[in-house]
Structure 1
Amino acid sequence: MSSITFPYAAHAASSSFVSVHSDLASSYDPPSDTSSFQMNPLSSHPPRTPRTSIMSSASHVYASDYESSKEDATQLGEREPEADGYHTEDEEDEAKAAAAKSRVRKEEVWREVLKTAYGRDKAFKLIQYSMKMYLLFHVALASSAAFKGRSRPGWETELTKRLTSAIAGFSLTRKCLILFNWLPPLTAILEQHASDPYAARGARKGQRKPLLHTILHAPPPVLLELLNGLADDAATLSRLGLLGPRAGERAGKLANWCWFAGTLVNLVENSVERSVILELQHQVEGRLYDESMAGTTAKSNPAADKLDHKELARLQKQDYWIQISKWKLVMDLIFVSYDVFRLKRAKGQVQTAAGLASAILSSMKYYDKHKSALSKAVSS
């Protein structure tokens, strides 16, 4: 039987209680300690226990249960979420990467950009089409009604001539910078030819394929790039005076058609790549939504939540640059369409705007690429 402490136990064993239950009193031995009594199980109304004793015993039981469950969780290898948040190595790496990126100066990035022929081509393209845009606004302003009939100062006419000559010079310089641009696709074709030395179907084993067969069976984007590079070089040699003007004109038309077809192919590839990235992004977003609906928080499962958010940020950044590439290809397509289909309406204005937009978008992407590389070098 249980023993319960009672503050006024002496009055509980009154004479009336003994007289009513006289037949049970003979078999009942009260304890020697007068501060407590032994509860009679045959009593119809057992004495009530004070509320303080119930709460104290209950808190003791719950505390012991919590300690035991905590010990079990520790034995199972589970970790309790911290109340003040968590700090992982990924956060430290991100902080270091952000600090390294802030330490990279713009001059250092442009130095790395201008080390390459592609970077110099984009820098010259920005200067060239900025001058073209200035001349476009200058001509439009000069032909407006407000300035029509007014004599122009001599320095303005001289500046226009110098800018026109500089634009032609930058155009020829950019053409020279992309000379021998057919070498990368040719190298890819030669590597494919070397990796598959045996003949095609029906030929004897050990017989090497002819190089022309490998070229004709190369992927269409590689063939277009090879043909475009050769035609561009022929047109550049014609502008330098090493080939006749007729040959240069034909080579220029062929280069424009290859550029047009290659831009369409790149747009299709860009759309396919973006659809894959969007599908992966929807999967990560759906997983985060399911976890949030299930009550999973960053503290209950910090590793998975951190990985999902990091993957989502990476996919969003990749989708951003894919869209930048898409708009750059759209600007190139608009530009070359005027030359391919011989469009005349607003040709100068449209090609100038499209060329400047293409130069800005491609320079943004190339600049970010070199900035990320420098940031990784600084952080490492």
Structure 2
Amino acid sequence: MPDVKVAIVHEWLESYAGSERVVEQMLRIWPEAELHAVCDVLPEAERGFLGGRQVRTSFIQRLPFARTQFRKYLSLMPLAVEQFDLSAYDLVLSSNHAVAKGVITGPGQLHVSYVHSPMRYAWDLQHQYLRQAGLERGPMSLYTRWLFHRMRLWDHATADRVDAIVANSRYIAERIEKVWRRPSTVIHPPVDVERFTLGAAREDHYLIATRMVPYKRVELVAEAFRAMPERRLVICGDGPGLAQAREAAAGAPNIVFRGRVPQAELVQLIRTARAFLHAAEEDFGIGMVEAQACGTPLIAFGRGGARDIVRPDTGVLFPEQSAASVMEAVRRFEALAPMIRPEACRENALRFSAAAFRERFRAHVEALLAAREAACASA
């Protein structure tokens, strides 16, 4: 598409994480695209994927303390994205989990939004956010509830500004349908599966590796393995939920906490684990794909992105976030384990490679552009 001028709009650039990997692949598909973001505080060491591009930021970039506390300007972000002048572009791609889809485009432009999730804390996770932030009562609670109410109204209204929506999983497609009443096309996010290789000999440990935050439900896995002393569990990660996980594992010599481990050591633990456990309800779940790329089977909670990742020949799903459900899943896995081949797990992971993402996303956008051109020609 040499004649198409492309703009990519991202919420904020803070770290090189999952949503930034999507932007990275968009930039590889359209290397001449110009990148816009509400603010850019990305450390120099993590800017390589930008290829030296200048990022066009909003007025929030220049507000006091924006480099460290830009999230406190959430109430201004809808206004900020609406100030981007995108009139010179034929194709606008937004990478959205908060406000990016709210940019203003004209009738001669195609706006495709890749949605990592509708604004979680403003919709179905509002009450969970308020509890975790200690904002269930008081003046700040009232202000935050009012702000989320205003954000919901804006978020729903601006969904109609998008010409086509792409969801990163079936779970997110369902959330989009629920909160925006819009259909979407599922294209899974890119995972760097090439940096993982098949494991050799399997050892006797099960593994859970994740950020220790409450919704990850690591304590459920610890409680389950405390009741299964003949099975060994290794837990890697750190965060505010670590104390709860340790409490759930109290007195269990078969459970080992490793904290944060170097990447090479973590990959080796994954490559040699009997299975990789995941108890959270995720939008997608990149860690599960990385485990599959190592040939490691999965035992995962059967909601969210896990439904798109786990196949009957690569792992098992459990129906409830409870220790009893985890225990039953481990037993089912051990009965099926002889039939789960590492090569099948690896093959499954390749469905989510960066190359697969580029191929699917490019084809989808080009089809939308062709359909728009045909419609204009026949008008």
Same fold (TM over 0.5): no
Larger strand percent: 2
Higher relative contact order (CA 8 A, sep 6+): 1
Larger helix percent: 1
Question: What is the TM-score of this pair, normalised by structure 2?
Answer: 0.21
Higher Rg: 1
